[in-house]
């Protein structure tokens, strides 16, 4: 531990064979060398930290080796190989185009190109991040690339292939480096941990590999960081604390609660995660990823897509057996939608809670037709647009103040009068009743509705939304339908996006959740308000036809 060398340096691969996770590609390169079919220019593309520069260096070493092994690897013993391994070979020239992207930098390189190697056969020029070269530098380089001397080989590396101009692309042999699989990263980390005598839990290495997202270099630097942090004993716990990764155990617990239909429990677990300091976006994308993993475990055919250690896999397999496939499809669909909506939602916490409630509800099978009627959703959405399910109403009995069981709009909830579906049950049972099992149906008048609507507008912070709400009057129609007639598509969109929250607010105010909300553009001509510039113009011309002449005479342009 005292002489700990940064893994990325110490364990940099020295032969094609030891490159992690790019087997097909290294085999092709090796074959090209063995068959002496070398191109003058190569383009190595792929994400950062997957071995592009490393492969370029091994390539340079191998083509200069005086004593190639039978399987086409550098011997690492001849004078040339030694010079490469000790970083003193003159046959390799590296340019980082990220910081040296001027014409002068390229000229310095092309001047070098003319000089033949003194030892070995080839000089290799590696230009890293080649997409960063300025256009002038690109052009200066193009000439050399078109007519390179026999001894010169160029290896261009980039993370952004699409930024390379076609004239360069067409002159290069292109190699696409892929992300390294979790298993390959874990295997390599296991090997390094063993060599360094660092004790590691397999789950810990798996978490590191997940975090590294396919990059070996990142995996190694995270590994080093965790080793120094945990004093040589790398546990799963130490990794997730150090990397601020959410323990998947939470997802297991959440899913168990959801499967059991325990809304309150799922909300409590969610609260616990938030208290740990995790961001909602992180939680929701983590949850969506978790459902995906459980889904791929559900089918032996897709289980290969699930990259974790065996111990963890067993846990997932166990859970996947308990999850009906249709539930997983819904869970994925809804959590993905919530993930997308998250950024735009004004009440982010509520949005996530809605998802949990909706998922928990999905698993509850109504016992009878009567029951079914009573868990009718708060919101009836007729459009195909996926929208969050309605917010929950209050629990039957207000929970004690110190428990965080009622995170939803405290202070308003207790005022709601409830009609519990089974009023004969004792109080404790009523308390445990599902939040979704509530029907509010107090009668309300047109005035009550208008008052509630006004209150909704007044509490609104978004000025545009506020005036949209205050500018319209809700109409109470037959069949408990509340019609909101807006004036233009933008207003309609704004309200539709918020309709779950609007519905929830109105339900609280009116103590009734058995209504439908219809947000439509008004068809009453008296209500017509022009929206686009052209509509406004037509509207004004109708009021004052002289305007048309005015526009014509002054040759004005309507945009």
Instruction: Find the shortest distance in angstroms from Cβ 79 to Zn ion.
Output: 8
Instruction: Find the shortest distance in angstroms from Cβ 37 to Zn ion.
Output: 20
> How many angstroms separate the CA atoms of 7 and 23, rounded?
21
Our CB check for Zn ion shows the closer of 1 and 119 to be 119
Residues near 196 by Cβ (< 8 Å), separated by ≥ 6? 4, 7, 227
Our CB check for Zn ion shows the closer of 91 and 238 to be 91
**DSSP H or E segment with residue 486:** strand 481-486
Our CB check for Zn ion shows the closer of 81 and 486 to be 81
Our CB check for Zn ion shows the closer of 8 and 75 to be 75
**234 exposure class (CB count in 10 Å sphere: 0-12, 13-18, 19+):** buried
Instruction: Find the shortest distance in angstroms from Cβ 90 to Zn ion.
Output: 16
Instruction: Find the shortest distance in angstroms from Cβ 162 to Zn ion.
Output: 37
Instruction: Find the shortest distance in angstroms from Cβ 335 to Zn ion.
Output: 54
Angle at 416 between CA 470 and CA 338, to 5 degrees: 65
DSSP code string of 56-112: HHHHHHHHH-SS--TTS---S-SHHHHHHHTT--TTEEEEETTT--SHHHHHHHHHH
> How many angstroms separate the CA atoms of 383 and 102, rounded?
56
> In which region does residue 201 sit, left (phi positive, over 0), alpha (psi from -120 to 50) or beta (all else)?
beta
**DSSP H or E segment with residue 124:** strand 123-128
Instruction: Find the shortest distance in angstroms from Cβ 15 to Zn ion.
Output: 10
Instruction: Find the shortest distance in angstroms from Cβ 139 to Zn ion.
Output: 37
Our CB check for Zn ion shows the closer of 75 and 397 to be 75
Our CB check for Zn ion shows the closer of 54 and 188 to be 54
Our CB check for Zn ion shows the closer of 55 and 81 to be 81
Our CB check for Zn ion shows the closer of 77 and 333 to be 77
Our CB check for Zn ion shows the closer of 73 and 196 to be 73
Footprint of Zn ion (CB under 5 A) = 65, 67, 74-75, 78, 81
Residues near 366 by Cβ (< 8 Å), separated by ≥ 6? 372, 375
Residues near 117 by Cβ (< 8 Å), separated by ≥ 6? 64, 90, 91, 123, 151
> How many angstroms separate the CA atoms of 375 and 354, rounded?
15
Our CB check for Zn ion shows the closer of 19 and 328 to be 19
8 A C-beta contact, residue 390 and residue 358: no
Instruction: Find the shortest distance in angstroms from Cβ 116 to Zn ion.
Output: 19
Q: Taking each helix axis from N to C terminus, what angle separates 310-322 and 248-259, rounded to the nearest 10 degrees?
A: 10
> How many angstroms separate the CA atoms of 359 and 337, rounded?
13
Our CB check for Zn ion shows the closer of 81 and 296 to be 81
8 A C-beta contact, residue 374 and residue 423: no
Question: Closest by alpha carbon to 85, among 52, 69, 61?
Answer: 61
Instruction: Find the shortest distance in angstroms from Cβ 95 to Zn ion.
Output: 25
Helix, coil or strand: residue 28? helix
Instruction: Find the shortest distance in angstroms from Cβ 216 to Zn ion.
Output: 24
Instruction: Find the shortest distance in angstroms from Cβ 78 to Zn ion.
Output: 3
8 A C-beta contact, residue 7 and residue 223: yes
In this structure, what token pair is assigned to residue 79?
A: 């004078």
Question: Closest by alpha carbon to 454, among 506, 524, 491?
Answer: 506
């Amino acid at each position: 531990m005292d002489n700990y060398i940064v893994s990325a340096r110490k364990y940099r691969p020295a032969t094609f064979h030891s490159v992690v996770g790019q087997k097909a590609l290294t085999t092709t390169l090796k074959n090209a060398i063995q068959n002496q079919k070398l191109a003058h220019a190569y383009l190595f593309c792929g994400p950062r930290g997957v071995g592009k520069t490393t492969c370029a260096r091994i390539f340079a070493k191998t083509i200069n080796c005086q004593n190639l092994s039978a399987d086409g690897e550098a011997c690492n013993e001849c004078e040339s190989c030694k010079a490469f391994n000790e970083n003193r070979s003159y046959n390799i020239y590296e340019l980082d185009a990220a910081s040296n992207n001027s014409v002068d930098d390229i000229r310095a390189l092309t001047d070098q190109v003319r000089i033949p190697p003194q030892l070995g056969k080839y000089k290799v020029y590696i230009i890293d991040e080649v997409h960063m070269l300025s256009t002038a530098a690109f052009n200066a380089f193009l000439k050399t690339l078109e007519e390179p001397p026999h001894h010169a080989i160029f290896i261009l590396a980039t993370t952004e292939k699409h930024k390379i101009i076609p004239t360069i692309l067409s002159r290069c042999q292109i190699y696409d480096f892929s992300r390294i699989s979790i298993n390959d990263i874990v295997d390599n980390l296991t090997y390094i941990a063993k060599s360094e005598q660092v004790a590691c839990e397999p789950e810990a290495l798996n978490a590191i590999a997940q975090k590294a997202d396919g990059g070996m270099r990142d995996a190694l630097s995270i590994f080093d960081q965790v080793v120094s942090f945990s004093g040589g004993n790398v546990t799963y716990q130490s990794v997730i604390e150090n990397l601020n990764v959410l323990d998947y155990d939470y997802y297991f617990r959440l899913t168990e609660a959801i499967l059991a239909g325990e809304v309150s429990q799922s909300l409590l677990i969610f609260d616990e995660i938030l208290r740990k300091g995790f961001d909602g976006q992180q939680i929701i994308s983590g949850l969506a990823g978790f459902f995906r993993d459980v889904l791929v475990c559900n089918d032996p055919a897709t289980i290969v897509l699930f990259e974790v250690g065996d111990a963890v896999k067993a846990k997932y397999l166990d859970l996947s057996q308990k999850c009906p496939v249709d539930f997983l499809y819904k869970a994925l669909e809804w959590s993905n939608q919530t993930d997308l909506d998250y950024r735009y939602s004004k009440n982010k916490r509520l949005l996530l809670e809605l998802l949990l409630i909706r998922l928990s509800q999905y698993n509850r099978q109504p016992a009878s037709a009567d029951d079914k009627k009573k868990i009718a959703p708060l919101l009836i959405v007729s459009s195909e647009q996926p929208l969050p399910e309605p917010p929950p109403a209050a629990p039957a009995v207000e929970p004690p103040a110190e428990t965080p069981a009622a995170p939803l709009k405290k202070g308003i909830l207790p005022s709601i009068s409830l009609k519990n579906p089974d009023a004969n049950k004792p109080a404790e049972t009523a308390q445990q009743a599902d939040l979704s099992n509530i029907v509010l149906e107090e009668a309300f008048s047109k005035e009550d509705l208008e008052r509630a609507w006004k209150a909704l507008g007044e509490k609104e912070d978004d000025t545009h939304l506020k005036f949209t709400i205050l500018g319209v009057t809700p109409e109470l129609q037959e069949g408990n339908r509340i019609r909101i007639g807006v004036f233009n598509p933008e207003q309609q969109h704004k309200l539709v996006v918020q309709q779950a929250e609007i519905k929830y607010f109105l339900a609280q105010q009116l103590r009734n959740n058995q209504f439908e909300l219809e947000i439509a553009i008004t068809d009453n001509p008296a209500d017509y308000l022009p929206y686009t510039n052209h509509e406004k113009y037509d509207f004004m011309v109708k009021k004052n036809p002289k305007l048309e002449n005015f526009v014509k005479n002054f040759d004005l342009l309507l945009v």
